[in-house]
Amino acid sequence: MSPTTTFALIRHGQTDWNAQQRIQGATDIPLNDTGRGQATDAVTALSGYDWDFLVSSPLSRAAETADLIAAGLELAVTRRIPGLVERDYGPAEGLRAGDELEALRFPGGFHGAESEADVAGRGIDSLELLAREHPGARIIIVTHGTLIRLALARALDREVGSIDNAALTLVRHHADGWRLDVLNGELLHPRETAVVRAKTPE
């Protein structure tokens, strides 16, 4: 029986652009004080499990969130993984809802932005690489909301809603596929728990 690798997927804490409802994407915006508090609070939810190490996106809001969680759990952040950066929204970054943003929108995305399929693909690739390199490990991954949402939707073949700042999402990977146990800090009812067989690569 192949080992199961467990991932805690944590969106970074709040930034000023989050609070202002601006599209952030690949722009490197730091945590604000609320975000630092959220990162510290995430330690409580994570302390109910045993973890081996953390990895994060290299963007500063994710890296600092990971460092704060690591300090609280007395663990190491071992890698900053480029494949875990947030979706690049191109010219839409920094914009809020309004005419300027709507002018960039088309069905399924924004002009000049990275496609959802590409984001989901590199997110899944990053998770599967970690599972191959560390079979059976329990890994905390601090990354970004859109990347988590799109990667989970691809892995589970289901719609996934928005991901809250610093909330715990728990997913398990094994040879037969993926299992989602906790989403946005909420333990899923057994009937809602998603188990999907691994797909043959296209």
Catalytic: 159? no
DSSP element (H, E) containing 88: none
Residue 16 annotated as lining a ligand binding site = yes
172 has binding-site annotation: no
Query: How many Cα atoms sit within 13 Å of 127 on the Cβ side?
Result: 30
From 64, 74, 86, 134, active-site residue: 86
Query: What are the DSSP E strand ranges found in the chain?
Result: 5-11, 53-56, 77-80, 105-106, 109-110, 138-143, 168-174, 177-183, 186-187, 194-197
Q: Is 24 annotated as a binding residue?
A: no
Structure tokens of 1?
């029986």
| Separation of CA 153 from chain center | 12
The answer to whether 12 is a known catalytic residue is yes
Query: Is 138 known to sit in a ligand binding site?
Result: no
Q: Is 87 annotated as a binding residue?
A: yes
User: 102 a known binding residue?
Assistant: no
Active-site entry in 12, 144, 173, 174? 12
Q: Is 184 annotated as a binding residue?
A: no
Binding-site residues, in ranges, read: 11-18, 61, 86-89
Q: Which residues are annotated as a binding site for substrate?
A: 11-18, 61, 86-89
Catalytic residues: 12, 86
